[in-house]
Amino acid sequence: MKSFDAIVIGGGQAGPFLAARMVEKGMKVALIERKFLGGTCVNAGCMPTKTLVASARAAYVARNSAVYGVNIPGEIAIDMKVVRARAETVTMNARNGLIGWFAGMDGMTVIYGHARFEDPKTVSVNGETLTAPRIFLNVGARPVIPDLPGINDIDYLTSTSIIHLDTLPRHLAVIGGSYIGLEFAQMYRRFGAEVSVIEHGPKLASREDEDISDAIADVLRSEGIDIHTGVSDIAFARSSDGITVATDSARIDASHVLIATGRKPNTDDLGLDAAGVITDKHGYITVDDTLATNVEGIWALGDCNGHGAFTHTSYNDFEIAAANLLDGADRKVSSRILAYALYIDPPLGRVGMTEKQARASGRKIMISTRPMSRVGRANERGETKGFMKVIADAETKKILGAAILGIEGDEVIHGIIDAMNAGTTYPALQWSVPIHPTVSELIPTVLGDLKPV
């Protein structure tokens, strides 16, 4: 049996950085990764997909260049092999960077294999047994495949496998109208495929307020994406030239099907029962406000704990654990203000409460909206789709949440994120003097238009 000061299972965006901090403190750490260092973000999520989004946007801008007085003769062609290779290069550069970083650390042992608990202090991997007083789980999540009629008779894609496509689908059917599905839908439409989105719920991006959801649908429809919501029945069958997707309201002749119906934690084969670690009904590991599980000496970080399915929340889990265990701090998950983005174009930047959540809280609230068509920078760039929305507490004057669906919305939202984390009241932020011409300069204007509801 090999002994360590700590064992980290999973090489995502929390565990490896915590392992590095512990090594800096002179600890002996084992990092066990089943497949690739970097987790979903580096290998199948943020980095490759946003690289693909950038290629798709380049195609879109080129096709619409005449609007800006730039004439490109001939048809805009897409070389999917180059598109794929570019995304793969970005992924490999990041992955190899992590490999090189860890290889240079004395005290760090990287093991590739499938780890399972033998007891609360012991795990087995590749026929070896390892023990440590502290064990950290950062095992991530994977796509959910629903049990739908005919699904096992077709060759479907997931968010992991679609990034390896080097040919253009004739017609891509996207099953699921949430964040991952919508990004791929617009991306492949811009590459030149016909695209249909099929969503069980009554609207796209169901987490958002109805006005945001409607605006997202308008953006996608304006680019020729076929959207079906409120679909109760879906079935698949092979056809002579692809896949038939039959719903209760439509029949779609697709060449490819992307299943984007959510994700589930990679916790079902870790031997958690042997360690006594509790999970909820969905398989997420139950943790307290410091990310500790019900078993002393075991923590769960990142997607597998159900407290955020984003790279930045996973990294923040690392920050919380490191601060508490290594720096004597008392940081809590409940102090985190959730923020995220949807990377369609234009992107959606989101922080805090939705209007629906704010109304349900019983607070006296104020709301302000402003269409991007009334933002100078958006008009100068010729990108006026979407709008800005802010919700505030009428009594405390604190900002409760915001949504910016529009050009650079994923960047502009950080002005609101910073203000909320600093506890700044909206009147104070209203009197800032932003740079012109920017999209961010409209934040004080939007705040000045807040009205009680």
Catalytic residue positions, numbered: 436
Written as one string, the DSSP assignment of 205-224 is: STTS-HHHHHHHHHHHHHTT
427: left (phi over 0), alpha (psi -120 to 50) or beta: alpha
8 A C-beta contact, residue 353 and residue 391? yes
Overall residue count recorded for the chain in this entry = 453
CB atoms within 10 A of CB 86: 16
DSSP bridge partners of 257: 173
Distance CA 43, CA 33 (A): 13
Give, for 246, the enclosing helix (H) or strand (E).
Answer: strand 242-247
Tokens 């009680």 — which residue?
452
CB atoms within 10 A of CB 126: 10
- Judge if the upstream peptide bond of residue 133 is cis by omega within 30 degrees of 0: no
Start-to-end CA distance of the chain, whole Å, equals 64
- Which residues lie below 8 Å from residue 67, measured CB to CB, with a gap of 6+? 382
8 A C-beta contact, residue 446 and residue 368? yes
8 A C-beta contact, residue 243 and residue 211? no
CA distances for 166 relative to 163, 195, 337, angstroms:
8, 17, 39
Q: Where are the beta strands (DSSP E) in 284-421?
A: 298-300, 339-342, 348-352, 365-371, 387-393, 399-405
8 A C-beta contact, residue 135 and residue 121? yes
Written as one string, the DSSP assignment of 60-81 is: HHHHTGGGGT----S-----HH
SS3 391: strand
Distance CA 30, CA 121 (A): 13
8 A C-beta contact, residue 239 and residue 248? no
Tokens 């095992």 — which residue?
139
Helix axes 46-63, 80-103, angle to 10 degrees: 150
